[in-house]
């Protein structure tokens, strides 16, 4: 069995919420071996994501949360690779803003595990940026995929509908800062960082 690795691409497009639209670059992360993979988030451009998938079997399209810049092409991608879309149930109201007529295929449940080859992603519910925001942690890879919950430089935004700053900070401190300091943080936007660097900057 080939070992599990992380591949990625950066897509460009927009994020819209509360009647405003912004230009954004999004990271799409693909965790897998030579045979199979899991796609984390489905931003902007199916072809760019398929290039990273590179013909491998896609086990799931796992959405860190349902803001439109993270899920806009999820149905199209899921159909083209025949994989289920997974999203925490608390983000269904946010999902329906972008996809009123399509539902995700299954839930991401806190404590659940998504196996890929000889590794796995553990689902951690980290509400705050969005009510159903999750982080996906792999102890084997020493990596956590944080979506928009924690960036290089601090917590995600909480100025818009469905967000709550106190809830976000509690999620980060209780769940993410409990991970080992050398855990690499791959976020939904921008450069990667580590738990230790961000915990030092924000305070535990
Ligand atoms: Zn977001």
pTM of the complete model: 0.97
pLDDT by 10s per residue, the chain, length 204: 679 999 999 999 999 999 999 999 999 999 999 999 999 999 999 999 999 999 999 999 999 999 999 999 999 999 999 999 999 999 999 999 999 999 999 999 999 999 999 999 999 999 999 999 999 999 999 999 999 999 999 999 999 999 999 999 999 999 999 999 999 999 999 999 999 999 999 999
Distance 198 CA to ligand 1 centre (A): 19
CA 81 – CA 54 distance, rounded (Å): 11
What pLDDT, on a 0 to 100 scale, did the predictor assign at position 56?
Answer: 98
Buried b (16+ CB within 10 A) or exposed e, 136-163: bbbeebebbbbbbbbbbeebbebeeebb
Distance 104 CA to ligand 1 centre (A): 17
Distance 162 CA to ligand 1 centre (A): 10
CA 114 – CA 59 distance, rounded (Å): 9
What pLDDT, on a 0 to 100 scale, did the predictor assign at position 88?
Answer: 98
Tokens of 162: 């469905």
What pLDDT, on a 0 to 100 scale, did the predictor assign at position 92?
Answer: 98
Distance 2 CA to ligand 1 centre (A): 33
What 8-state DSSP symbol labels residue 125? E
Distance 133 CA to ligand 1 centre (A): 9
CA 118 – CA 33 distance, rounded (Å): 9
Distance 101 CA to ligand 1 centre (A): 21
Residue 56 belongs to what H/E stretch?
none
| Residues 62/136, Cβ–Cβ less than 8 Å | yes
Give CA separation, 62 vs 21, 28, 30, 154, 167, in Å. Answer: 24, 11, 10, 23, 22
What pLDDT, on a 0 to 100 scale, did the predictor assign at position 2?
Answer: 75
What pLDDT, on a 0 to 100 scale, did the predictor assign at position 176?
Answer: 98
Residue 75's φ and ψ, nearest 5 degrees, are -60, -40
Distance 113 CA to ligand 1 centre (A): 23
Distance 3 CA to ligand 1 centre (A): 30
Distance 37 CA to ligand 1 centre (A): 23
What pLDDT, on a 0 to 100 scale, did the predictor assign at position 1?
Answer: 62
What pLDDT, on a 0 to 100 scale, did the predictor assign at position 125?
Answer: 98
């Amino acid at each position: 069995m080939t070992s599990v690795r992380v591949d990625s691409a950066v897509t460009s497009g927009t994020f819209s919420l509360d009647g405003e639209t912004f230009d954004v670059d999004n990271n799409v992360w693909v965790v897998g071996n030579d045979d199979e993979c899991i796609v984390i988030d489905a931003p902007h451009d199916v072809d760019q994501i398929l290039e990273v998938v590179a013909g491998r079997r896609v086990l799931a399209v796992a959405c860190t949360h349902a803001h439109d810049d993270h899920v806009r092409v999820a149905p199209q991608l899921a159909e083209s690779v025949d994989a289920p879309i997974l999203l925490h149930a608390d983000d269904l109201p946010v999902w329906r803003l972008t996809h009123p007529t399509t539902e995700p295929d299954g839930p991401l449940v806190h404590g659940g595990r998504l196996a890929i080859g000889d590794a796995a992603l553990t689902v951690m519910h980290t509400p705050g940026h969005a009510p159903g925001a999750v982080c996906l942690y792999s102890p084997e890879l020493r990596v956590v995929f944080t979506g928009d919950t924690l960036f290089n430089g601090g917590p995600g935004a909480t100025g818009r509908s469905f967000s709550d700053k106190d809830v976000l900070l509690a999620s980060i401190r209780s769940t993410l800062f409990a991970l080992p300091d050398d855990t690499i943080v791959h976020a939904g936007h921008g450069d990667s960082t580590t738990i230790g660097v961000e915990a030092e900057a924000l305070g535990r």
